Amino acid sequence: MIHESAPHQFQGTLSMSAIDPALATRPSFRPSLHSPGVKFFVICGLTLALMIPMLFVWMLIEDRQSYEFQVVQEVAESWGAEQSVAGPFLVVPFRGNFTNTQNGVTTNVSRKDFLVLLPDEMTATVRSKVSLRERAIYEVPVYHADTLIEGRFPTRDKIMERLPEGYQPQWGDAFIALRIQDPTGLREVPGLRLGAAPTPVEFVPSLNLPQSDSYGGLHLPLPEGALDEALPFSVTMAFNGTQSLSLAPVGQTSSIRMTSDWQHPSFGGGYLPDTYVLSAGGFEADWSVPYVARSYPQSWLYSDQSISPLFGKAVKVGFVEEADSYQLVSRSAKYAILFLATGFLAVFLLELRAGTRVHAVQYVLFGFGLVIFYVLLLAFAEVIGFAAAYAVASGAVAALNGGYVAAVFGQARRGAIAALSLLGLYGLLYVILQVAAYALLVGAMIAFGVLALTMYATRSVDWSGAIGAPAE
């Protein structure tokens, strides 16, 4: 009997080339941990991770600013704080008696209040001299101001027109008041000359108004019969202050002139000067403010508004440094992510061209060098000024990172390229800091240029291949 043999059983593994020879020619995709693509994303992660130490840098900047503010307050306590002068203004007490009937019961009610009146005219001249007070490593601008305020109060008849109906003024208790924010800064008792009086009369402490203890000020009783006619006045005062000086335009028409030997004034407070002149010897500035440009009227009841209207807009001059180092350091730190990314890209491009792998730890150390730049800048700026500190910090970091890159690649030329690239970047950042109005434009152009250069330099890179030979 003949038996058919069983079919031949294939032993072994069937290759893909035996099924489709064309597949044998296709390159297999084997992602490498050492490929440029993976390294690129690692660098992006390191850039974001290094923003964590940058947060501590920003905290350090804020801490030093806070300490500087504390020093300024200590100087202000002993010399005189930021000064704000309002006045002089006239206060007329008045009283009225009324009957009040309620539930069939009639009672007599007496009410007392104060009418606050501002002068019809005001002309002020302020001459200040600024000096620097040193405390630790800080210099605080302080000033001494000699002030003359002249003007004219309305007559008794015009004041009567502003009193509420049914009230009688108490002329014997009327007085003139002057508000100054920090009376401890006064260096002599302010004097008031009324009308044709040959000598000025000295003010006495306090505003002499209810619940006004928290307001710094002075007052002077008004002589009997002083308001029979329009009352001219002049106030002379000398006081110390710190950082800024404000003067309220209390007249129906107010003309204010300020002169100083300070070369870097900051005008603010609600009114910019009509004209000003800056020179090597200081500045001169003039303001003219009508009452319609203010936020408060010429007269009001004290029970309605106290003296709060006098805290409104004022003519203000700040005696500040030309460039605040902390502000400039803070602004430079805002560009940290751009400089970290650009510095890493420079090393990455050198790595691609050299074919030598750079370890992630070496990138981190390079990044720490970029972060320490801001700490050096802050520390030196407190002592030698921002411009010199910037030169020292940028030169030190460029030399440090340039030398490190030269050691990593074993070529001084590549280290020099890295150092020069960093110096160029820091130079561009300095330009950005100097042209604050165009900082966004310049920063955007730099970012665009860096991106375009990176795209051009990596146009032929095999992002899936390996960078050089594996390290032993």
Question: Tens of pLDDT along 140-196?
Answer: 899 999 999 999 999 888 888 888 887 889 988 999 999 999 999 999 889 999 887
What is the maximum span of the chain, computed from C-alpha positions, in angstroms?
157
Q: Would 471 be classed as within a structural domain?
A: no
Q: Which two tokens stand for residue 319?
A: 């005696």
- 317 & 400 share domain: no
283 falls within a domain: yes
Residue 5 has pLDDT above 90, yes or no: no
Which pLDDT score, from 0 to 100, does residue 468 have?
A: 54
pLDDT in tens, 284-321: 999 999 989 988 889 998 888 888 888 888 999 999 87
Reading the block at residue 282, the tokens are: 């200081």
What is the percent of the chain where pLDDT is above 90? 45
The per-residue pLDDT for range 313-363, each reduced to its tens digit, is 899 999 987 768 898 999 899 889 988 988 898 888 888 887 778 888 999
Grade residue 13 by pLDDT with cuts at 50, 70 and 90: very low
- Is residue 12 predicted with pLDDT exceeding 90? no
Residue 451 has pLDDT above 90, yes or no: no
- 234 pLDDT more than 90: yes
Q: What is the mean pLDDT of residues 241-266?
A: 94
Q: What is the dihedral sign for C-alpha 322, 325, 326, 329?
A: positive
pLDDT above 60: residue 28: no
| pLDDT score of 7 | 47
Q: In this model, does residue 8 exceed pLDDT 60?
A: no
Sequence-ordered alpha helix ranges (H) in 232-385: 302-305, 325-333, 336-354, 360-384
Question: In the listed set 273, 305, 322, which residue is the last one of a domain according to the structure?
Answer: 322
Is residue 259 situated within a structural domain? yes
Provide the pLDDT for residue 459.
82
Domain of 453 in residue numbering reads as: 35-64+326-457
Domain shared by 345 and 394, yes or no: yes
pLDDT of 352 reads: 83
Taking the C-alpha atoms of residue 171 and residue 156, their distance in angstroms, rounded to an integer, is 9
Same domain, 316 and 261: yes
Residue 3, in any domain of the structure: no
pLDDT at 139: 86
Q: Is residue 44 part of a domain?
A: yes
Question: Is residue 245 scored above 70 in pLDDT?
Answer: yes
124 and 105 belong to one structural domain: yes
Q: Residue 446 — pLDDT band, cuts 50, 70, 90? A: confident
- Please give the pLDDT value at position 265: 92
Is the predicted pLDDT of residue 62 greater than 80, yes or no? yes
Pick the last residue of a domain from 288, 306, 322. Answer: 322
Mean pLDDT of 411-429: 91
Instruction: Provide the pairing of β-strand 105-117 with 83-102.
Output: antiparallel
Angle at 54 between CA 52 and CA 56, to 5 degrees: 85
- Percentage of the chain beyond pLDDT 70 is 90
Using the 3D structure, point to which of 322, 338, 356 is the last residue of a domain: 322
Same domain, 350 and 259: no
The CA-CA-CA angle for residues 282, 287, 290, to 5°, reads 170
Asked if residue 13 belongs to a domain, the reply is no
C-alpha to C-alpha distance for 181 and 87, rounded to whole angstroms: 12
What's the mean pLDDT when you consider all of the chain?
85
**DSSP secondary structure of 147-197:** EEEEEEEPPHHHHHHHSPTT-EE-GGG-EEEEEES-GGGBSS--EEEETT-
On whether the CB atoms of residues 182 and 83 are closer than 8 A, the answer is yes
Whether the per-residue pLDDT at 251 is higher than 80: the answer is yes
Question: Quick one: 297 and 343 in the same domain?
Answer: no
Distances 271 to 125, 126, 274, 284, 319 between C-alpha atoms, Å: 16, 16, 9, 15, 16
Report the sign of the C-alpha dihedral through residues 368, 374, 378, 381, in that order.
positive
Where residue 20 falls among pLDDT bands split at 50, 70, 90?
Answer: low
Q: What length does the chain have?
A: 472
Query: How many angstroms separate the CA atoms of 430 and 427, rounded?
Result: 5
Indicate left, alpha or beta for 318 from its phi (over 0: left) and psi (-120 to 50: alpha): beta
**185-199, 257-271, 454-468: which is most confident:** 257-271
**From CA 312, how far away is CA 269, in angstroms rounded?**
9
How many structural domains is the chain composed of? 2
Look at residue 68 and give its three-state secondary structure. Answer: helix
Per-residue pLDDT at 145: 97
pLDDT at 34 over 70: no
Q: How does strand 275-279 pair with strand 282-290?
A: antiparallel
Do 289 and 381 fall within a single domain? no
Tens digit of pLDDT for each residue in 201-221? 888 888 888 877 778 889 999
What's the pLDDT band for 17 if we cut at 50, 70, 90? very low
User: According to the model, what pLDDT value does residue 10 have?
Assistant: 43
Query: What is the pLDDT, as a whole number, of residue 1?
Result: 44
Q: Which carries the bigger pLDDT value, residue 454 or residue 249?
A: 249
Instruction: Report the pLDDT value the prediction gives residue 389, as an integer from 0 to 100.
Output: 95
Same structural domain, 350 and 235: no
Higher pLDDT, 24 or 194: 194
Mean of pLDDT values over 118-144:
92
